[in-house]
Structure 1
Amino acid sequence: MLKHLNGAVQGVCSSAIGLATLLLAFMGFVGYTGKHSGDRNWEIQDLWYLIPAGIAFCVLVLVPFVATARQDESEAQMAIARWILLWGTGFAVFAVLAFFWQDVSTGFAAHK
């Protein structure tokens, strides 16, 4: 009879929701500071980090629903929740790195 460790469900859920909260704050920071301050509007290349950030947010919010689903005798649901957390974290890291590569390296909120 396989059982996951005590606190494993709480750890996976809190880490996913914590990262989703930070990602939502990141998207709010990007949306309200650099893009619309001054004369610069959204551009098509901004989708390089907005789409992965949106996907990551949706995937990370899905983790607690999978982790707290009815558990049988196996670790299958927790393994799936951990993989979903891994993919959501990967999308979030890609979104932040794409933001820094695109905007910060060329001057954040630079006027064109």
Structure 2
Amino acid sequence: MDSEEALSALSALAHPTRLEAFRLLVRNAPDGLATGELVDASGLTQSTFSTHLAVLVAAGLVVSRRQGRQMIQRAEMARLRALMVFLAMDCCEGRPELCRPLIAELDCC
């Protein structure tokens, strides 16, 4: 991941509705959720939520697939991983002790 891609992802997540929707999708990975379930969880109208979803899709954080009559939204876990690695990349440059607490927290899950 380069800086431009990281900025796009971070910008997409820098809104409460989009962040919560993405976190909900991560909790439901790898299966994802129907768009209607996300709309219901957000409390927004379908059209307003669609705008937020489009931002997440454009940033590569969410992928959509049709399943019968529904659109299923999934968190793109590889993209999340790439973003996390990008953010932590400089951390271990000669000082791995800086990343150990982060890795320990992630290891609990």
- The answer to which structure, 1 or 2, has the higher relative contact order (CA under 8 A, 6+ apart) is 1
User: Considering only CA atoms, is the larger Rg found in Structure 1 or Structure 2?
Assistant: 1
Q: Same-fold call, TM > 0.5?
A: no
More helix by share: 1
Q: Please, what TM-score do these two structures have when normalized by structure 1?
A: 0.31
> How high is the TM-score relative to the length of structure 2?
0.31
Q: Looking at secondary structure, tell me which structure has more strand per residue.
A: 2
